[in-house]
Amino acid sequence: MQTVTLAALLLLLSSLAFQMGRKRAFAVASGHPGTLHSLPGYYGWWVALWCGLPAFAILAVWLMFEPSLIRALVIADLPEAMRQLPAERIDVIINEVRNAAQGHATANPDFAAAAEHYNRLQQTGFAAAVAVTVTLALAGATFAYRRVHAELRARPRVERIINVFLVASSTVAIFTTVGIVLSLLFEAMRFFHMVDFVDFLFGLSWSPQMSTRSDQVGSTGAFGMVPLLTGTMLISAISMVVALPLGLFSAIYMSEYAQPRIRAIAKPALEILAGIPTVVFGFFAVVTVAPVIRSIGGAFGLNVAAESALAAGFVMGITLIPLISSLSDDVITAVPQSLREGAFGLGATRSETIVQVVLPAALPGIVGGVLLAVSRAIGETMIVVMAAGLSAKLTANPLEAVTTVTVQIVTLLVGDTEFDSPKTLAAFALGLMLFAITLGLNVIALHIVQKYREKYD
């Protein structure tokens, strides 16, 4: 709370600095803003940035190091006996002290003293932070304010800072991705020290249950991802069989046949489908679709599992309809009208034009969209967790329960986990594989879409 107030104060100072910088620019120009190098607003921004940036930078550094600094000081002040305790115990003590500092009663007088110390340190620290940042803000503003003159190249400077800011923002996103990939990679490497990479990639059996103690009787675990991969493929294939024709046909209708009035209603209605949370689709699959499939299958004398690949794949296919239809709609609409006119001018009917001219022209874009949908299907988790089942069976029968890579990752990581057993680490290896597959698909999809774009520009 205090920090928020301080940040607000700094913002207020910066906005004042902006006003003053701007006024100063007018004053320097003595009524002729045309003599300035940049527009007066840029001088305002320049002063404001000088006021705000260093102060906020210091504030950020302070916020980063404050907890560990205070912690170290509090520990240093604890009675000798406590300081000798192992690290985990000290963590517990520090937590206790923090609770006490927030006003919770504590029985131990040592803790009470430490809590008081803790509070004192925090207050001092905050006061110091306020003093340093506000001084820095004022100093920065004054420095910049004094330097405002007509030849000052304020605009390029401000724009350079904005540029740095934009670069920094995109770097954060990139580094996050890199960080995620690296963490996946390192955990997966630990896994591959315990389980052979080739066995993992080509093994036909998946049963990650292991005996936790050496004297227990139990399996040693089997980590062959092939059954998971086939399950994923089976469900993705079923979903695409559902989503591809429905999505594509609705896109063709929307873009080529629908009256503008119908399109205005139908297109948003279709997109509502995309807004339904997948968990809702999950129980739709379990509660409605699976029993229906089961009873239909029963009528034909087929034995359908309660959780079947068909139910999960079917419902997942429905979730993908809006994605395929809106991407296809976009590329079909992007086919130049002149091509349609060319075909009509030769006496082609509407359906001939669509099948022979429009769809071939839109095909690369549609393929790109479909590949994106496939990578969504492979990565989809919630529906399959609820509707596909857990048994890692190597089967191509859509009426049986299968499991997918994502389902296994969830089950491996839910509950009590220890991060040194292959059972848990397997989740990271699976995640890495999943990432590799979807990344590959996305790269191919983007490549195809891009190639298509170059054609009509």
352 lines the binding site for another protein (CB under 8 A) = yes
**Ranges within 258-297 binding another protein (CB under 8 A):** 260
Answer for which of 143, 178, 341, 450 binds another protein (CB under 8 A) is 341
Answer for which of 86, 103, 338, 457 binds another protein (CB under 8 A) is 338
348 lines the binding site for another protein (CB under 8 A) = yes
Compose the 358-387 pattern: x for residues touching another protein by CB under 8 A, - for all others: --xx--------------------------
DSSP structure class, residue 216 = S
CA distance 277 to 159: 41
CB 298 to another protein: min, Å: 49
216 lines the binding site for another protein (CB under 8 A) = no
Residue 243: other Cβ atoms inside 10 A: 28
CB within 8 A of 351, min separation 6: which ones? none
177 lines the binding site for another protein (CB under 8 A) = no
CB within 8 A of 242, min separation 6: which ones? 313, 314, 316, 317, 318, 320, 321
Contact window for another protein (CB under 8 A) among 157-165, 190-198, 349-357, 433-441: 349-357
CB 350 to another protein: min, Å: 9
349 lines the binding site for another protein (CB under 8 A) = yes
Residue 427: other Cβ atoms inside 10 A: 23
Answer for which of 336, 440, 443, 447 binds another protein (CB under 8 A) is 336
Contact window for another protein (CB under 8 A) among 128-136, 277-285, 318-326, 333-341: 333-341
In DSSP terms, which residues pair with 348 in a beta bridge?
A: none
CB 295 to another protein: min, Å: 47
CA distance 129 to 66: 10
343 lines the binding site for another protein (CB under 8 A) = yes
413 lines the binding site for another protein (CB under 8 A) = no
CB 110 within 8 A of CB 79: yes
**Ranges within 243-262 binding another protein (CB under 8 A):** 260
Closer to another protein by CB, 69 or 346: give it: 346
Contact window for another protein (CB under 8 A) among 81-89, 190-198, 348-356, 377-385: 348-356
Strand, helix or coil for residue 397: coil
Closer to another protein by CB, 32 or 455: give it: 455
CB 339 to another protein: min, Å: 6
CB 342 to another protein: min, Å: 4
CB 449 to another protein: min, Å: 16
Per-residue buried b or exposed e for 256-276, using 16+ beta carbons within 10 Å of the residue's own CB? bebeeeeeeeebeebeeeeee
Contact window for another protein (CB under 8 A) among 23-31, 221-229, 356-364, 369-377: 356-364
CB 308 within 8 A of CB 293: yes
Tokens of residue 216, six digits: 């227990």
Contact window for another protein (CB under 8 A) among 23-31, 174-182, 352-360, 429-437: 352-360
DSSP letter for each residue of 32-80: -GGGSSS-HHHHHHHHHHHHHHHHHHHHHHHHHHHHHHHHHHHHHHS-H
Determine the angle formed by the axes of helices 226-252 and 405-413, rounding to 10 degrees.
120
Dihedral sign of CA atoms 284, 288, 291, 292 in order? negative
Closer to another protein by CB, 353 or 408: give it: 353
Closer to another protein by CB, 199 or 352: give it: 352
Conformation bin of residue 132: beta by default, left when phi > 0, alpha when psi is -120 to 50? alpha
Answer for which of 85, 279, 346, 443 binds another protein (CB under 8 A) is 346
- Interface size with another protein, residues (CB under 8 A): 19
CB 406 to another protein: min, Å: 38
Closer to another protein by CB, 38 or 353: give it: 353
CA distance 179 to 190: 17
Tokens of residue 296, six digits: 């239909």
79 lines the binding site for another protein (CB under 8 A) = no
Dihedral sign of CA atoms 160, 161, 164, 170 in order? negative
CB 368 to another protein: min, Å: 16
CA distance 57 to 275: 39
In DSSP terms, which residues pair with 223 in a beta bridge?
A: 206
Closer to another protein by CB, 245 or 342: give it: 342
Residues that bind another protein (CB under 8 A): 260, 336, 338-339, 341-349, 352, 356-357, 360-361, 455
